[in-house]
């Protein structure tokens, strides 16, 4: 089976739950995002074909909901706070170390899909800056040395390099949205 065929099968599987109705747009987008870690133009076209939507409508829904962000993301997403207190606490040195150790710039994802590096706004740890999140884990009082150790730890985690199983379609999307309605 080609990658395209697999993608189409994944979309059809979720869409079948609503009889290929447009109401499954969000569950389908979530499934594709989870499994393929992003929603590219080809995926939007496949989704549009299967659900009878225009690709522009699929793109509009995908970009409207933050949790569906179609950009490809790594399995571990490093988000460094760039707000005022963290800025004053030395966020620039930490940012340089992160970019160097991860081998990517802010806004990028590593070629193997393991890591993304992004800026974040205040996460409420202003008295303990610089602060960052790695997925749901928060790290505070960062220094370049400390960051080097944290990155090393994540690089040693096997799950950074393993593709997870797709989520159960039945668990997705309680609030279906009609496209083109
Ligand atoms: S300014 Fe960085 S956590 Fe508040």
Asked if omega into 140 is within 30° of 0 (cis), the reply is no
94 within ligand 1 shell (Cβ under 6 A):
no
Walk along the chain (181 residues) and give the pLDDT tens digit of each residue.
888 999 999 999 999 988 888 888 999 998 998 888 788 888 999 999 999 988 888 888 887 776 777 777 889 999 999 988 999 999 999 999 999 999 999 989 999 989 999 988 887 888 999 999 898 889 999 999 999 999 999 999 988 887 654 444 444 444 445 554 4
What is residue 138's three-state secondary structure?
strand
pLDDT of residue 173: 45
Is there a domain that residue 177 lies in?
no
Q: To test ligand 1's pocket by mutation, which of 89, 127, 128, 129 has the most ligand atoms within 8 angstroms of CB?
A: 129
Does residue 45 share a domain with residue 105?
A: no
> What are the residue ranges of helices labelled H in the chain?
3-15, 25-36, 41-51, 55-64, 84-88, 91-102, 144-155
Is there a domain that residue 36 lies in?
yes
DSSP-derived secondary structure letter, 175:
S
DSSP-derived secondary structure letter, 21:
-
Is there a domain that residue 107 lies in?
yes
The domain spanning residue 110 has which CATH number?
Answer: 3.40.30.10
Reference 62, options 20, 31, 21, 108; nearest CA is 31
120 within ligand 1 shell (Cβ under 6 A):
no
- What is the extent of the structural domain holding 94? 76-160
Does residue 60 share a domain with residue 14?
A: yes
The set of long-range contacts for 136-141, using a CB threshold of 8 Å and a minimum separation of 24, is none
pLDDT of residue 50: 94
Domain total in the chain: 2
pLDDT of residue 178: 53
Does residue 32 share a domain with residue 88?
A: no
Question: Phi and psi dihedrals of 176, rounded to 5?
Answer: -60, 145
Is there a domain that residue 179 lies in?
no
Reference 66, options 93, 29, 111, 28; nearest CA is 29
Does residue 154 share a domain with residue 82?
A: yes
Task: List, as one string, the DSSP characters of 149-160.
Answer: HHHHHHHT-GGG
- What is the spatial distance between Cα 142 and Cα 110, in angstroms, rounded to a whole number? 22
Angle 41-51/3-15 helices, nearest 10 degrees? Answer: 40
pLDDT of residue 142: 97
Does residue 119 share a domain with residue 57?
A: no
Atom of ligand 1 nearest to the CA of 85: 1
Q: Measured in angstroms, how far is the CA atom of residue 141 from the centroid of ligand 1?
A: 11
Is there a domain that residue 12 lies in?
yes
Does residue 80 share a domain with residue 57?
A: no
Reference 151, options 111, 81, 91, 102; nearest CA is 102
pLDDT of residue 122: 84
Does residue 93 share a domain with residue 42?
A: no
pLDDT of residue 130: 96
Atom of ligand 1 nearest to the CA of 91: 2
Is there a domain that residue 181 lies in?
no
Does residue 115 share a domain with residue 55?
A: no
């Amino acid at each position: 089976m080609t990658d395209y065929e697999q993608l189409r099968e994944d979309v059809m599987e979720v869409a079948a739950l609503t009889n290929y109705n447009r109401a499954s747009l969000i569950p389908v987008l979530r499934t594709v995002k989870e499994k393929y870690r992003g929603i590219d133009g080809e995926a939007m076209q496949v989704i549009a074909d299967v659900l009878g939507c225009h690709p522009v409508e699929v793109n509009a829904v995908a970009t409207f909901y933050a949790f569906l962000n179609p950009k490809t993301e790594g399995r571990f997403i490093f988000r460094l706070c760039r707000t005022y207190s963290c800025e004053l606490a030395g966020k620039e040195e930490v940012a340089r170390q992160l970019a160097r150790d991860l081998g990517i710039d802010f806004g990028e994802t590593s070629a193997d899909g393991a890591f993304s590096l992004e800026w974040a706004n205040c996460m409420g740890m202003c008295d303990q800056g610089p602060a960052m999140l790695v997925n749901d884990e928060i790290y505070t009082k960062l220094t370049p040395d400390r960051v080097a150790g944290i990155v090393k730890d994540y690089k040693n985690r096997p799950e950074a390099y393993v593709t997870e199983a797709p989520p159960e379609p039945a668990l997705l999307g309680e609030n279906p949205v009609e496209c083109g309605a």
